[in-house]
Structures are given as structure tokens and as C-alpha cells.
Amino acid sequence: MNSPTIVADALRRPFPDVLASALRDRFGERFSTAAAVREHHGRDESPFPPTPPDAVVFAHSTDDVAETVRLCRAHRVPVIAYGVGSSLEGHLLAVRGGVSIDLSQMNRVLAVQPEDLTATVQAGVTRVQLNDELKGTGFFFPIDPGANASLGGMAATRASGTNAVRYGTMRENVLGLTVVTAEGKVIRTAGRAKKSSAGYDLTRLFVGSEGTLGIITEVTVRLYPVPEAMSAAVVNFPGLASAIDAVIQIIQMGVPVARCEYVCDRTIRAINAHSHTTLREAHTLFFEFHGSESSVHEQAELAQQISREHGGEDFEWATRPEDRTRLWNARHNVYFAGLQVRPGARAITTDTCVPISRLSESITGARRILDTASFPTLIVGHVGDGNFHSMLLVDPDDEAEMAQAERLNDEIVRLALSMDGTCTGEHGVGLHKMGFLQEEAGEDAIELMRRIKRAFDPDDILNPGKIFRS
Amino acid sequence: MNSPTIVADALRRPFPDVLASALRDRFGERFSTAAAVREHHGRDESPFPPTPPDAVVFAHSTDDVAETVRLCRAHRVPVIAYGVGSSLEGHLLAVRGGVSIDLSQMNRVLAVQPEDLTATVQAGVTRVQLNDELKGTGFFFPIDPGANASLGGMAATRASGTNAVRYGTMRENVLGLTVVTAEGKVIRTAGRAKKSSAGYDLTRLFVGSEGTLGIITEVTVRLYPVPEAMSAAVVNFPGLASAIDAVIQIIQMGVPVARCEYVCDRTIRAINAHSHTTLREAHTLFFEFHGSESSVHEQAELAQQISREHGGEDFEWATRPEDRTRLWNARHNVYFAGLQVRPGARAITTDTCVPISRLSESITGARRILDTASFPTLIVGHVGDGNFHSMLLVDPDDEAEMAQAERLNDEIVRLALSMDGTCTGEHGVGLHKMGFLQEEAGEDAIELMRRIKRAFDPDDILNPGKIFRS
């Protein structure tokens, strides 16, 4: 069930001509069945082979999305939301065909309300774009998955990134959503109050639902004042375990680190090659501290002291904005740097997250498991949250290698589940983790999810075949 | 629909003898139909008249709850979870009769994992009990509604309190739940990882569902290290607007205040009478600051400076634990102090929450509306979150007064909704706010909630008749 080779679906049906005509009438050149366009919308960053939709609609508005859903529903044809195509688990592959609704042209920042610490954007706005538009306001939006993902996609995947240890994930930072339902109705899940006890939490039900319960077209997020002071540091450790033990202690002591990332020695080598940096090829922690001048100083002192107690050395500080940016760009490009370690390879990426005290066992266990691999493997992690990623660089055409990778992936996930952890901290389930979710949640919980799915989408047209078998 | 006089429900049916026998066989003396016991379980802190269940089961375990639900389901008899009876909106009134499942004897702290910053408790553990048991560990649980509520009830109501401005609400602080479903199955909604993207967010769907989707029997929460330093302050202002404007600026500047409460001059008088304090009878802000010594000092300086710019004066500091405790006990007792302003009165409590920039308009608007009342009214607020409560002290036997109170309540809620706010920041919907929720969420969103309800509870036995008309 977790094998990336199983994507063909017997439920794929021919695309109705009458629907194609209706969509062409409505959208003109914004409707396409061209092979290149379909191909582009049938691939993500997962190891799965491309699985194109039958057609693509480029939406400009919530109404466009609603109209597309209504037309498709009349023919029971699947609809799949598409942001920038950066999902890692096959979320957007059209396993039953249908229409990919490309939201990337819905890229307007609709409102910035710094006085309320909120902003509302169309789903296609990316995280970098939002922060660019916030420049000069004194506020920023912290959630930063590796890719320059769209806010709609980030909400749908319950994404996070390097800042989550301090600022939370999309779960904590989405205040409300505009969503198109399976019937093509438009709802708003919440107002802009910071907290609410008004009925079922529809906002958080759609966050992480991967396009299977509705299509997110607008996102209202929390903003944060740009801290008075920021400082970043890089620290090397003699081994994996010592680096992680330092992290665990820093978190347990409640040091409010903004970022706390582990990068393994092999990944540092890949970063140096890709980003032309000269970082020492060792087990490394990247820190960032936010706050007032004195608070940043205090946090940094404490982190440094704890790191030293665990053998950390060679502290390098980056307080100038350009140095910090270079550092974090290098960290953000790890995925692409990693891919270059083995040209032509695809990455199978694990995403386990465990209670913080179990992180050392979990990550050293993963390292042991990965050391049996016949292909290159890397580890990086949002370790302050107990979350890390292994990158398994496989030849997608080598079946034995793919099978080996899935076995190792299985072992790493099982280890995390045995520690009361999760199979996915931030990447979502998509196609790839359906079996793991079943194991993690158990049949009775999956049955409740299935009932929600049926209640919201009785015709099973919203990104069908994902998360669990419906 | 919002009138507290409408609680009789045509759907109330006779209690089956065969069910009474089965429950008595199973639970012995822990099953009761005694009038006094039923009466006790049919009242909360809402202005509604008591509406007793037909019977009460005192549960000792998740299995007890599951067995009760299974037996009741066979007869389509309602089940209502009961914690400490502190709900404010009629959540637990047995409008269709049925069995109240009293969880107060499920009061064991099952696990404290300071190394993971988590604890797991049975649903009947209260917030004070949990913090008592955490003494000496160096960790605490911050969520503090006015009453010493049970953790199960707090989760079911999506409660918060004075610390939410810094630590979030139950939405952010529940990691996972054990829940008994309408079929009497037991599910666990999540493991203990700090973040997860594994499928639909069942945890946050049950948080705030007010016992209508399942019965929460165990709660896993986040803990926080006790801050190195804490300091509290009381500041008086010349008027309501100036106090609130100070708060708005403090929040917009990102000062990480732990608590930031407004108490109106009339309420201070009530507190002085009730708690034998000698606070100055003025518009007052209560602050608390958490952090390192220097960070607390910095935060306090900044809050003081901003307060002064808005006319704040008479700063009183409380850094000794006993002084802080006295101060916050006085604040926590506001509800009971308020009730004594008019002996024999019941309180109708508003709970609106608005985006922070609109708080001044919202709260001064509420003050103007309340000033037309023929009975005493008070205002207190978790103003750092944009949330405040008006207490309308009415004679529950005076129909004209009750009607007037509902009219004023309506006006205050409409004002908040016009500002993109919510009718309830933390008290929940219960019986009292069903009409407001309809207005706030809109029919299409309510329809999705209704579908979730039907999917989880097709026989409508879980706390029926609450939140929305099913």
C-alpha cells in the first residue's frame, strides 16, 4: 500500500466530452487539455511517476473554482487543487483522472491588517511573496516549508518548517479559510478573532485535509511583529547523539528558540557543493533566536552553554541580515542540494515526529537503519519539534532499490510509532503514507475520518483516493 | 431561539425501565435516579432553569463510559457528559432527558512526562488538581477558566482563560484525546508528537464539540516550564477607552505578556467586597509577565511606559508568589463576586471576541449598550486576546428583565459580528448561543457541522439539542 509504484487506479474513467465543452465555454484559454500542461500538473516532488489529470483549469477567483466544481460534480469527475506542485507524497497526482484546478494565478494578497496581526491572501500566494509584500510593515509570516509553497497548499497539508518550534504550524496560524465545498458552495470557516468557541472547528478540519473535503481559495493567517533583534548560530558536534541531546535539553528548559535545525555531516557536504558555502562537514545545529536585544543575547548564551556541555564547538554567529539569509537559504535548499548528491535520483523522504525525549533514540535508530542502505541517505531535522527527515536517494527505475527504500522507510516509521510519534510531522499523507496512517490512527479513528469524507463529499470527487481508502 | 426560557423539548421521552435495570445491574450504587442527584446534574452556571436528566451514572473508567453509551444507544436514550457543572451556556442541561455520565470520579493524573512537556489525565481531573500534582516538577499547565473546571469539560468547550494571550487555548494545548464514540467504541485521536499532518484533525474536531460528537475520557495536554521569573502589576486608568487603547498597543508591539486582563470599576468594587481587597475602584488592567529576570523586567517596563502614555497610574507590583496568588485569586473570583452585587440574581454572560484593533470600539460599544440596563452590569475581559465578558445581573423570575437582558446581549453580539468577531471566545455555544452561531457561521457552514454530527451520531444521542438544531 505504501509502494510508490501503485498509482494506477481502476476507477479512472473517460473524461466526458460534454464537460470539456462546458469548461471550455466557461474558461476559454484558461481551460487546457494540452499534454504538456496536463503532464506538468500530474507531477510533484514525490517519487511517484507522473499521473496527469485529464484537463487543467486556471482559476482566477473563488467563483471560478466553485463553477468548476459544480460542473465536474454534475459528471462525477474528480477535482484536484494545484498550488505550486511542491507536495512530497503524491497529494496532487490524478489517480482517477479529472480536472486539476490550478490556483497559482489566484495570487493576490487581499488584505494586510497589521493592526490586528492578520493577513488574508488568495490560495495561490506563496510564503515568499507574502513576506515580500509585508516588507516595511514591521510584520512577518513565519511558516516556511522548504519549498516556496502556496499558502493554500500549506494549509491543505498542515505544513510547518523551521520556525514551528516557536511560532507553531499552519494548524496554529490559520485563523480562517474560504472553502469551496463539493457542492460548489462557498463557505467561510471563521472570522478574524484570535480565539473562538463557536461550534465545530471547521478551520482546523480543512487544514490538513489535502483537498479531500473542499478546495481552499482564501487563507487568513496570523502575523507577528518582526523581532527587535535576531541572531543565528551554527554549531558543530562530535556526533549525532550529542547534537540531539543538546537540543532536547534546550527545549526541556524552555529556551524560546525560533529555529533549531539539525543537519547531518553528509548533508553539510551537499550544501557546500550546492550553495558554495564552506561549512565544516560535521553534525551541525543551526539556531536562530528572536526577541529583544537582551533576550536574544540570553537565549544564545544558554544555547551555547548547553551545546558546549554536549561537546558542541566552533560556534559561528550570524547577526547581520545578509549572513542570516545566506545561512537559511542554504538550509532551505537542502532538498535540492541533497538530490544532487546522486544525479538522476528521486528522494523518498521520511517525516516522523516523536515526543522530544525520544528524539535521540528515534534519530540514531533511523541513522542505523539508513546505514544498511545501498544508496546515499541524508538526515536533516526540525529537531526542536521532535521532527526530522531522512532523504533516501533512490533510482526510481531500479525496483529492488525502491523496494529496499520502502522497507527502510517502514522501519523508521514503525520506530516513531512505537514512541507515540507520528508518521508525518508536516508533509501529509497523500498517497504514500496511507498504510502508515491506518497503522497510526487505527481502524476506528479512520472510520470517523471516512464518515467525514462521505458527509462532505458523497460523490467522492474531491481529490479522491488520498489519505485513506474511501 | 436565544431565550433562556426555551428549554423544554418536545423530544423528551419516557426513560425505559429495561435500561434502568441494565444500568443498575452494571453500576450498582454508581447508578442513581434520586431526585437530588438528578437535580444536581441538571444545572450549570447558565441562567436556564434546572433541566435534570432521568438518571446519573458515576463513571470510573473509559470502559464504564463506553458501556453506558452502548446501553443507552440500544434504546436511543441521550447521554450527557458531566464534569464539575461550571458551563455557562446550558451545555449540560438534559433537554431531552437521558443519562448524565458524571466523570468527576475519573480524576487520576495518568502520566506526567516533564521530559516531553506533556501530561495525560482522566477527564475529571480539574485544572487546579493538575497543577497541584505538577508542583515540584518545574512544569505547569496554563489554561485557567474562571471556574476550577475539569480538563474534559475544558476540552469539550474549547476553554481558555487569563493565560491564553501567551499560551493559547485548549485548541493549542490539547495534544490528543481518548474519546468514546456514539457506538461505544474507544478511539485515541493522536499520539504525543508536538505536531502532525497525519489525516484529519480529529483532536481539534472533538475540542469544542461540547459532548455532541463523542465523550472525552482522557486528555493529553502540553506543559510549560515554570518561568524563571514572574511579576504581576495592577494599573488604574482614567477611563475604559484609555485602558483598552493601552492594551491594543502592547499587543500590536508584540510584548509577550502572559496575562492582560481588564476589570471595570464596578467589578473592582465587587472584588473588594468579596475578596476583602482594597483595590482602587477604577478601570483597571491586571498584567502578568513571565520569562527570565531580565525579560520580565523589560516587558514590565514597556507595558508600564505604554500604560503611562494612555494615562495609566498607581502601578502596584506583585513579585512575591503569595501576592500574585492573592491578586489572581481575586480576578478568578470575579464571577462569584459579581453575583453578590445583586443577591439572588443570575448572570447572563456575554463572551464576544474581536480582532484586537476593534476591541476599543467593541467594548465601549458594549458599555454604552449596558448603560441602558435597568439592572447591574459589569465588564471584565481577557483583553489581550480581544475577548471580554459582560455580566448582566438579572432576576431570573422577572420576565421583562430577562427579555431586556437578551436584547442587550443580542446588541453586543451583533456589534462583535459586525467587526469580524465571534459570539463566543471561550464559553461555547450550548443552548444559549445557537441563534448567534447560525448568524455568525451562516447556513452553509452550519450544514457542514450538521453533517459531521449525523455522521458521528446518527441516532442523535450525544448531548442532543445543543450547538445547532440537528
Query: Which residues fall within 8 angstroms of residue B445, CB to CB, at 6 or more apart?
Result: A187, A188, A189, A199, A202
Annotate B369-406 with DSSP letters as a single string. Answer: HHTT-SS-EEEEEEGGGTEEEEEEEE-TT-HHHHHHHH
Per-residue confidence (pLDDT) for residue A1, from 0 to 100? 38
The interface residues of chain A toward chain B in range 385-404, judged by CB-CB distance below 8 A, are 385-387
pLDDT (mean) for B358-363: 97
Interface of A with B in 58-117 (CB under 8 A): 113-117
Using a CB–CB cutoff of 8 Å, tell me whether A200 touches chain B: yes
What's the whole-number average pLDDT of chain B? 95
pLDDT in tens, B102-139: 999 999 999 999 999 999 999 999 999 999 999 999 99
How far apart (Å, rounded) are the C-alpha atoms in residues A215 and A217? 6
Q: Among positive and negative, which fits the CA dihedral A81, A86, A87, A91?
A: positive
Q: Is the Cβ of A199 closer than 8 Å to some Cβ of chain B?
A: yes
The angle at the Cα of B52, spanning B438 to B452, to the nearest 5 degrees, equals 35
Name chain A contacts of B113, Cβ cutoff 8 Å.
355, 357
B230 reaches A (C-beta below 8 A): no
Query: Of B196, B184, B200, B199, which is closest to residue B220 (Cα–Cα)?
Result: B196
Give the helix ranges, DSSP H, for A255-398. 265-275, 293-309, 321-332, 334-339, 359-370
Nearest to B189 among A187, A208, A445 (CB): A445
Cell 444521542, residue located: B461
Residues 6+ apart with CB under 8 A from B338: B267, B270, B347, B378, B391, B393
Q: CB of B455 within 8 Å of any CB in chain A?
A: yes
The residue ranges of chain A whose pLDDT is under 50 are 1-7
- Which residue in the set A158, A172, A437 is minimally distant from B172, CB to CB? A172
Residue B10 has pLDDT above 70, yes or no: no
pLDDT score recorded for residue B8:
56
Whether the CB-CB separation of B15 and B76 falls below 8 Å is answered with: no
Residue A390: CB atoms within 10 A of its CB come to 26
Q: For residue B275, what pLDDT band results from cuts at 50, 70 and 90?
A: confident
Q: Residue A80 — φ and ψ, nearest 5°?
A: -130, 125
pLDDT above 80 (res B4)? no
Give tens-digit pLDDT for B281-320.
Answer: 999 999 999 999 999 999 999 999 999 999 999 888 888 8
pLDDT of B2 above 80: no
Q: DSSP letter for A114, please.
A: G
Nearest to B291 by CA among A258, A292, A261: A292
Distance of CA A51 to the CA centre of its chain: 20
pLDDT (average), residues B417-431: 98
Give the residue from chain B lying closest to A469, CA to CA. B199
* Whole-number Å distance between alpha carbons of A273 and A368: 25
Identity of the residue in A113, A436, A456 whose CB atom sits nearest the CB atom of B451: A456
Interface test with B, best of A62, A194, A350 (most B CBs within 10 A): A194
* Residue that has been written with the C-alpha cell 556541555 in this structure: A309
Mutation site, B197, B292, B356, interface A, largest A CB count within 10 A: B197
Average pLDDT over residues B388-407: 96
- Whether residue B330 is predicted with pLDDT greater than 90 in this model: the reply is no
Tell me the pTM.
Answer: 0.97
CB of A298 within 8 A of CB of B294?
yes
> What ipTM score was computed for the predicted complex, to two decimals?
0.96
Q: Find out whether B9 and B356 touch, Cβ atoms under 8 Å.
A: no
pLDDT at A2: 43
pLDDT of residue A330: 85
CB atoms within 10 A of CB A135: 10
